[in-house]
DNA sequence: TTGATTCGCAACTGGTAGTTGCCATTATTG
DNA sequence: CAATAATGGCAACTACCAGTTGCGAATCAA
């Protein structure tokens, strides 16, 4: 396709990390995130990023050989804040994190990022990045549930990952797929439904048949 | 941007609906779906669709003024089969529908469609189409749950929509977002967790405070 | 059969990603 | 502080693909 894209060539060596170069890097990546939130991935123009960040287009291409790599670099810079609440009640902890996630996901930037991830799913760079971000989020959320198991809020042997997956998949689906607001009432309803099921042993690990009916088909 | 795109002009009147014209339409739309599954929306080239369906590029543009409209037309042709099982057990019904959904979603075509929907979310045509498809799916699924409520499998006053939303959001998230396989064990786990919660009254409508702790924050 | 409709063909325009050569700056290093 | 290697600005490229246009040929409907 393109010489640089094929060979991964960069003219810039990354030796100079202060002064003008530093300003260029941070300013460009900041602008990319801004543009992603504003117009999304497909409509993001490298020339626009250049002019908006007061830098020449050539300069951008010398540092990031393709639009995909440029966006990947911007994504790498973006990290969700890692606060994990510990209120003593799983319900409250989950609610706080859910609220925070919804706020992130509902913002223009959040919408732009998801669009980008879908559009660039062939890019191994973007793929690896999102996989990392997601696994980190999941890890932190699982911790909350495991603490609750230790406290006795949920039965021992509860599949913490499943609980987390069900709750947050539902919430993100509301915001991203359905593109409908996820208000506090909705968040509470989802959390309560799943926690009720888990409390009653509906999410126990290593379930070998016998108790319930076998899957049909 | 483009003359036709702006004014929505089509040279084709749609008067001839048999013979060559019919072949052209069906062959082109079939090829579009094929290509969507093969390479996704962004990489889909109208010229490729033309050559692969044995039709001239101009012919395509005269009938579908933009790539987005072409894809929207192909999407419109695609409809999921509307079978709703009624085995007498909600657990079994949900499992069957879930299996079917996973099969659809895991196919190359399914993956391509989702990517398209994300990429073309600015297109009101595509937006309206997917909204329709989704609401129809949801409607059919809600029916299953409501039948179960009538049978007494779930308590009266259960929010059927919530139950459906949580289960299928989680499944789709597995397949589309996480891009991990959703095997039968996973499907059963999700269904069992949610049904257990619902059975214990975790999904009742019109819950006014008093029973549980109030949302923090 | 006849005429309006649709299709094929080839040669366009336009926008945007990515490239290149040359010269001007500027950060680092001694 | 001077030398120099790294980097940035500029302008003029190429390449690819969406979308256009005019004309003559094929073909469907009456």
pLDDT (tens digit per residue) in B18-43: 788 889 999 999 999 999 999 989 89
Overall average pLDDT of the B101-113 stretch: 90
Shortest distance, CA B7 to any CA of chain A (angstroms): 21
Helix, coil or strand: residue A158? strand
Both structure tokens of A125: 């760079």
Overall average pLDDT of the A175-195 stretch: 96
Q: Is the pLDDT of residue A5 over 60?
A: no
pLDDT at B214: 46
The span from the CA of B210 to the CA of B186, in Å, is 35
Please give the full DSSP string across A82-138, using - where no structure is assigned.
------S-HHHHHHHHHHHHHHHHHSHHHHHHHHHHHHTTT-HHHHHHHHHHHHHHH
pLDDT at B7: 52
The span from the CA of B102 to the CA of B108, in Å, is 12
Q: Give B169's Cβ-side CA count (13 Å radius).
A: 24
Overall average pLDDT of the A133-144 stretch: 92
> What would the pLDDT profile of B57-83 be if each residue is shown by its tens digit?
999 999 999 999 999 999 988 876 667
B50 touches strand D (CB under 7 A): no
- Compare CB distances from A166 to B114, B166, B217 and report the shortest one's residue: B166
Helix, coil or strand: residue A204? strand
The span from the CA of A16 to the CA of A36, in Å, is 27
Overall average pLDDT of the A179-202 stretch: 97
> What would the pLDDT profile of A94-138 be if each residue is shown by its tens digit?
999 999 999 999 998 888 888 888 888 777 888 888 888 899 899
Q: Is the pLDDT of residue A16 over 80?
A: no
Residues 18-77 of A with CB under 7 A from strand C: 18-21, 44-47, 57-58, 61-62, 65-68
Task: List bases, strand D, within 7 Å of protein CB.
Answer: 6-12, 16-22, 27-29
The span from the CA of A199 to the CA of B38, in Å, is 44
The span from the CA of A40 to the CA of A115, in Å, is 7
Percent of chain B with pLDDT strictly greater than 90: 62
Closest CA to A184 of A111, A106, A104, A96: A96
Q: Is the pLDDT of residue B88 over 50?
A: yes
Both structure tokens of B61: 């543009």
A12 touches strand D (CB under 7 A): yes
pLDDT at A133: 87
pLDDT at B2: 46
pLDDT at A8: 57
Residue lying closest to nucleotide C18, CA to C1': A2
Higher model confidence: residue B84 or residue B121?
A: B84
Per CB-CB distance under 8 Å, the chain B contacts of A121 are 115, 179
| Angle subtended by helix axes B160-172 and A160-172, to nearest 10 | 100
Buried b (16+ CB within 10 A) or exposed e, A46-75: bebbbebbebeeebbbebbbbbbbbbbbbb
Q: How confident is the model at residue B194 (pLDDT cuts 50, 70, 90)?
A: very high
pLDDT at A12: 80
Q: How confident is the model at residue B217 (pLDDT cuts 50, 70, 90)?
A: very low
Q: Nearest nucleotide, C1' to the C-alpha of B21?
A: C6
B133 by Cβ neighbours in 10 Å (0-12 / 13-18 / 19+) ranks as middle
Query: Dihedrals φ, ψ of A120, to 5°?
Result: -105, 30
Buried b (16+ CB within 10 A) or exposed e, A25-41: beebbbbbbbbbbebbb
| Residue contact A87–B169, C-beta within 8 A | no
Q: How confident is the model at residue A206 (pLDDT cuts 50, 70, 90)?
A: low
Both structure tokens of B182: 């959703």
pLDDT at A48: 95
Q: Nearest nucleotide, C1' to the C-alpha of B11?
A: C6
Helix, coil or strand: residue A40? coil
Q: Is the pLDDT of residue B203 over 50?
A: yes
Q: Is the pLDDT of residue A52 over 90?
A: yes
The span from the CA of A97 to the CA of A168, in Å, is 10
**Quick one: CA torsion of A185, A187, A189, A194, rounded to 10 degrees?**
-170
B208 CB-near residues (< 8 Å, 6+ apart) = none
> What would the pLDDT profile of A63-88 be if each residue is shown by its tens digit?
999 999 999 999 888 876 667 899 99
- Full-model pTM: 0.86
Overall average pLDDT of the A133-145 stretch: 93
Task: Tally DSSP H helices, then E strands, for chain B.
Answer: 10, 0
* H or E element that contains B203: none
Distance, C-alpha A78 to centroid of its chain:
10
- Compare CB distances from A215 to B95, B122, B195 and report the shortest one's residue: B95
Question: Comparing A3-17, B112-126, B188-202, which segment has the lowest mean pLDDT?
Answer: A3-17
Residues 103-162 of B with CB under 7 A from strand D: none
Please give the full DSSP string across B119-142, using - where no structure is assigned.
HTTT-HHHHHHHHHHHHHHHHHHH
pLDDT at A118: 82
A15 by Cβ neighbours in 10 Å (0-12 / 13-18 / 19+) ranks as exposed
- Compare CB distances from B196 to A115, A122, A197 and report the shortest one's residue: A197
Q: How confident is the model at residue B142 (pLDDT cuts 50, 70, 90)?
A: very high
């Amino acid at each position: 396709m393109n010489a640089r894209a094929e060979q991964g060539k960069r003219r810039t060596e990354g030796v100079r990390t202060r002064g003008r170069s530093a300003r260029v890097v941070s300013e460009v990546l900041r602008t990319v995130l801004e543009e992603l939130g504003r117009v999304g991935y497909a409509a993001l123009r490298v020339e626009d990023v250049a002019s908006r960040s007061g830098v020449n287009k050539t300069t951008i291409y010398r540092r990031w050989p393709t639009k995909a790599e440029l966006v990947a670099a911007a994504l790498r810079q973006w990290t969700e804040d890692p606060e994990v609440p510990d209120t003593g009640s799983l319900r409250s902890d989950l609610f706080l994190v859910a609220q925070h996630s919804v706020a992130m996901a509902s913002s223009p930037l959040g919408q732009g990022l998801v669009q980008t991830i879908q559009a660039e799913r062939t890019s191994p760079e973007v793929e690896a990045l999102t996989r990392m971000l997601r696994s980190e989020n999941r890890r932190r959320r699982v911790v909350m549930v495991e603490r609750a198991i230790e406290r006795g809020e949920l039965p021992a042997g509860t599949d913490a990952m499943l609980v987390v997956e069900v709750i947050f998949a539902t919430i993100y689906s509301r915001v991203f797929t359905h593109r409908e607001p996820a208000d506090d009432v909705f968040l509470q309803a989802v959390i309560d439904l799943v926690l009720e099921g888990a409390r009653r042993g509906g999410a126990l690990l290593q379930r070998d048949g016998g108790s319930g009916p076998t899957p049909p088909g």
